[in-house]
Amino acid sequence: MKSANAYKTSPRRFSIQEHRATHLHYDLRLELDGVLKSWAIPKEPPTGAGVKRLAVQTEDHPLDYIYFGGTIPESQYGAGTVSVWDKGQFDLESREEGKIVFYLRGQRLTGRYALIHTRGNQWIFFKTK
């Protein structure tokens, strides 16, 4: 892993997509390692401290998917409508095994957030302050 200071060199993009598929959920996308690291969040993302949300890690997506909006056909995985719920930049504060801490500067979400790995593909997503 890189040192925490190595991550503070430049802002990166993020988006949260509202995904109306079989069930409404939100897809958090962070630009890391040349791809969009992705998590599905079953409930609306937390806007205030103290609210924790389950975040299920999904497959990485290509960078050009970051602001995707539209309809995924019924015959394809993830069928349903997708719209951008929030977007902006983030600064990576730290990244270690099972823990990612970052500062979001979006249209809806602003502040310090964390993703903490719990088990399998499950993480907890929350605003720290």
Q: Is the pTM of this model over 0.85?
A: yes
Residue 11 pLDDT? 81
- Which one has a higher pLDDT value, 6 or 77? 77
Number of domains in the chain: 1
Tokens, residue 42: 């079953």
Length of the chain: 129
- Averaged pLDDT, 81-86: 95
Contact 101, 94 (CB under 8 A): yes
Question: DSSP letters of 82-121?
Answer: EEEEEEEEEEEEEEETTEEEEEEEESS-EEEEEEEEEETT
- Averaged pLDDT, 23-34: 96
| C-alpha neighbours within 13 Å on the C-beta side of residue 107 | 7
Cα 105 to Cα 7, 56, 88, 108, 112: the distances in Å are: 16, 22, 6, 8, 9
pLDDT exceeds cutoff 90 at 67: yes
For residue 111, the enclosing domain spans 4-127
